[in-house]
Amino acid sequence: MDVPALEIVDLRKDFGTTRVLDGIDLVVGPGQVVGYIGPNGAGKSTTIRILTGLLDGFSGTAKVDGVDVRIDPIEVKRRIGYVPENAQLYDALSMGEHLQLVARLHGLPDEVGLRRATALMDAFGLVHRMRVRIGALSKGQRQKVLLASALLHDPKVLFLDEPLSGLDVASTMLVKALIRTLADRGKTVFYSSHMMDVVERVCDRIVILSGGRVVADGSYEELAAARAGGSLESIFAELTGTGGEQVAADAIADALGMTA
């Protein structure tokens, strides 16, 4: 039997007196693209930070590719790629220097790191800017550096937290195609985003989180069938108690004295 790519059992995490994760259970197999979605504060980023070995002080079990995050977080980091929602890059380094540093941290020979970095940045249309300092790059270009850094060492599990932020249309289409290709080749992609239409299209499985608990888990088709159809956005609103945007929009317009 294949070792699960991700295994979470009764995962709980408190920040002070606030419980952010309240008993998460989740098993993800190799080659799955899982959309992990929920309102702000639902615990999405906290879950990812635990699974990537960046946050401790939790209870329960969290394993990545069979490795217990609590016992060996360094080994977990060797097996994963991670694109955080808000990342700090070394602005004084060039794009090429940054990718070389990442490659060396993962123990890749320089020639392998250079070949992979060049191929990745060529695919992203930035190979001609390898010597440009990161501090001079646009938000979208910085996002491409983050994606390349996460892929450089050929990880088994890829964590993506709002990976399309700042990307143009062509790059967005490339990343969506890449996610599918990675899954087809046995990689696991754990995808967190507020872009419901993208999650609906690219994910094999969707896990909806609310109040630190899993409130739904299945393919989009399964979630829709259980609620007599509807978009993922409407299903999300129903399960998490969000929505009401039109009422809020009308209230704002009324406050400004706008008339129909």
- pLDDT score at 250: 58
- pLDDT score at 40: 87
Task: Give the structural domain span for 20.
Answer: 6-89+153-255
- pLDDT score at 96: 94
The SS3 assignment for 96 reads helix
Domain assignment present for 144: no
With residue 134 as reference, give the H or E element that holds it: none
Domain assignment present for 68: yes
Domain assignment present for 114: no
Measured distance CA(181)–CA(175) in Å, rounded: 10
- DSSP, res 132: S
- pLDDT score at 253: 66
Domain assignment present for 143: no
| Alpha helix ranges (H) inside 106-255 | 110-123, 139-151, 169-184, 196-202, 220-225, 232-240, 245-255
Domain assignment present for 138: no
CATH number at residue 209: 3.40.50.300
pTM: 0.89
Report mean pLDDT in 10-residue bins for the chain, 260 residues.
89 94 95 93 92 94 96 94 87 94 94 95 92 92 93 95 87 90 94 88 92 92 82 85 57 66
Measured distance CA(4)–CA(26) in Å, rounded: 10
Tell me the helix, strand and coil percentages in the chain, rounded to 5.
40, 25, 35
- What's the number of domains the chain is made of? 1
- pLDDT score at 197: 87
- pLDDT score at 193: 87
